[in-house]
Amino acid sequence: MAQLRASNESFNERVVSLRLALDFGAARGWTLTQKDFGLRTLAEGKMHGGGQRLSFLGRDKNPDVGRFFRQFDHSYFYRRKGKAAAIAPHLYALDQHEPECRELAQRFGLTFEVPDFPTWWDPGPAGTTLVVYIGPAGS
């Protein structure tokens, strides 16, 4: 019985997380997508990277990703009208990573925000903080 209860709690947490992710995007006119995209695609407001699969999530395909992987931890991807609109990571120790986040956003011409919205990935005092990188299609 205890195992079933734990399983139900885990399922309920996933449902709440998904609802928050959907609501966050819907409030901005964005649609949550399971297909990731890279910063160039986001910055250009494109649908995809033209066959380039150099996403920061694919460490095996993009050897440079290690330099800024922590600035995109636990990312969710959003589109508007099919175009890359935003990337919403959930970061641990935001105070340590925020300067690099802002530098990356500036380098790619993106807007960086720390929205007033609850994190849905590991919430709690020592948990994550929701941040968002917004491209032209998400503005």
The count of other CB atoms within 10 Å of the CB of residue 130 is 24
Q: What own/partner pairs with CB < 8 Å and gap ≥ 24 does 15-24 have?
A: 16/120, 17/120, 17/121, 18/120, 20/117, 20/118, 20/120, 21/76, 21/88, 21/120, 24/88, 24/115, 24/117, 24/120, 24/130
pTM: 0.82
What pLDDT score was predicted for residue 59? 47
pLDDT tens string 93-110? 888 889 989 998 999 899
**For the residues 116-122, what does the mean pLDDT come to?**
89
Sort strands 129-130 and 132-134 into parallel, antiparallel or unpaired: unpaired
Asked whether the predicted pLDDT for residue 112 surpasses 80, the reply is yes
Which range among 48-52, 68-72, 87-91 has the greatest average pLDDT?
Answer: 87-91
What are the pLDDT digits (tens) for 55-86? 555 544 444 444 555 667 788 999 999 999 99
36/126 Cα distance (integer angstroms): 27
Instruction: Name the residue ranges covered by the structural domains of the chain.
Output: 2-138
